[in-house]
Amino acid sequence: MEGERCRPRPALQLALEGFWAPLQILSPNEAREALLQLDAHAARVIGPKARAEDLQGAQRFKVHLLYPWAAALVRCEGLLRAAREALGSEDLLVWFSEVNAKAAHSDCHAAPHQDGIFASLAPNDAVVTAWLALTDAPAEMGGLFFQKGSHLLGQLSHTVDDQVDNLIGFRCCEEPLEEEATPVELGAGEASLHTFRTLHWSGPNLTGLRRVGLAIRYVRADVARSRQLQRRESAMVACGAYLPELGAFDLESEPSEDFGPLEQAQHADALAREQEPHDLQADSGEPALLA
């Protein structure tokens, strides 16, 4: 996979602005192949004519547990090199992956939000989100916007948003500052990184082309929990070392076959853990003393 194209001093850019882009992660052909694989996943779980933008609910999440190709994608060297530099550690976990797709002329959007609002991970700077474009993703296709410097404002108030077209189901109570809104327009194979407290959003797809990307959340192996969960969530080793008995996550296994019975069982278990009810209070970002 190709080396990344990025600005110098990426860790400094993340610290100052809250995001880092663009990074050249995949070649156009590699991005196209990953998109075809996602379309094949959609056809498998929905029907022969389905594509990535038709995936719903659990079908969109943690696809790296279901397919060896997806596990290799979230652990490709370009992404890991960027995540290691961003998080300042050689020991990282892949906590989550999520297909983010908008069909042509789709009204779907993501309201302004911070990723860490209900995550219960601490400290917040031990987590970073990568957004990998598998198609072109300019602003008019529903590409990402970031509010520069918003990660320095701390945890902002959020509220439930039940608009059908809001893909995330909640939104920040404060409107983004227009003068600080920065569009990050990615080409197929490029990615952005942002911190867990960076305010970001995306609009509808105003074009006749589809926009497909994969959001991947990397955490340092020493990340803790800010509150008690009913059951520990699980994560996969991305690089380096991790001891589950000392960490906050149970360990996930790498898939060995496409959509096999063991892969499906692990996927179902991982999502069941993540979806178990917990207190939807904004996270402080500070570790709790857990029994």
Render pLDDT for 59-106 as a digit per residue (tens, 0 to 9). Answer: 999 999 999 999 999 999 999 999 999 999 999 999 999 999 999 999
Residue at 243 is within a domain: yes
What's the length of the chain?
291
Q: Is 72 inside any structural domain?
A: yes
Higher per-residue pLDDT: 119 or 133: 133
Q: Tens digits of per-residue pLDDT, 138-173?
A: 999 999 999 999 999 999 999 999 888 998 889 999
Q: C-alpha angle with apex 241: 235 to 11, nearest 5 degrees?
A: 85
Handedness of CA 215, 197, 13, 186 (dihedral sign): positive
Mean pLDDT in residue range 202-207: 98
Asked if pLDDT for residue 5 goes beyond 80, the answer is no
pLDDT in tens, 52-64: 999 999 999 999 9
Percent of the chain surpassing pLDDT 70: 91
Q: What was the pLDDT predicted at 198?
A: 96
Q: How confident is the model at residue 228 (pLDDT cuts 50, 70, 90)?
A: confident
The predicted-structure confidence for 235-254, as pLDDT tens digits, reads as follows 999 999 999 999 999 999 99
Residue 280 resides in a domain:
no
**Could you tell me the CATH number of the domain that includes residue 128?**
2.60.120.620
Inter-residue contact 125 to 218 (CB < 8 Å): no
Name the pLDDT band for 45 (thresholds 50, 70, 90). very high
Is position 279 within any domain?
no
pLDDT value at 9 more than 70: no
Number of H helices, E strands in the chain: 5, 15
Report the distance separating Cα 291 and Cα 288, nearest Å. 9
Chain position carrying tokens 């520990």: 232
Give me the number of domains the chain comprises: 1
For the record, the structure tokens of 267 come out as: 């996927």
The confidence score (pLDDT) of residue 55 equals: 97
Q: How confident is the model at residue 3 (pLDDT cuts 50, 70, 90)?
A: very low
Identify the pLDDT of residue 77. Answer: 97
**Mean of the pLDDT values across residues 194-211?**
97
Per-residue pLDDT at 279:
46
Residue 157 domain flag? yes
pLDDT at 32: 98
Quickly state the pLDDT bin for 281 (edges 50, 70, 90): low
| Residue of 36, 49, 14 lying closest to 212 (CA atoms) | 36
Q: Which domain holds residue 48?
A: 10-274
Average pLDDT of every residue of the chain: 91
Question: Hey, what amino acid is at 249?
Answer: F
Query: CB atoms < 10 A from the CB of 81, how many?
Result: 17
Q: Is residue 5 part of a domain?
A: no
Helix (H, G, I), strand (E, B) or coil at 242: coil
Q: Is residue 75 part of a domain?
A: yes
| 185 within 8 A of 138, measured Cβ to Cβ | yes
pLDDT for 1 beyond 60: no
User: Residue written as tokens 């970001």?
Assistant: 200
pLDDT of residue 74: 98
**For position 117, what pLDDT does the model report?**
85
Q: What is the mean pLDDT of residues 272-289?
A: 59
Angle between helix 10-17 and helix 77-87 axes, rounded to 10 deg: 60
CB of 123 within 8 A of CB of 227? Answer: no
Domain annotation covers residue 286: no
Mean pLDDT of 37-52: 98
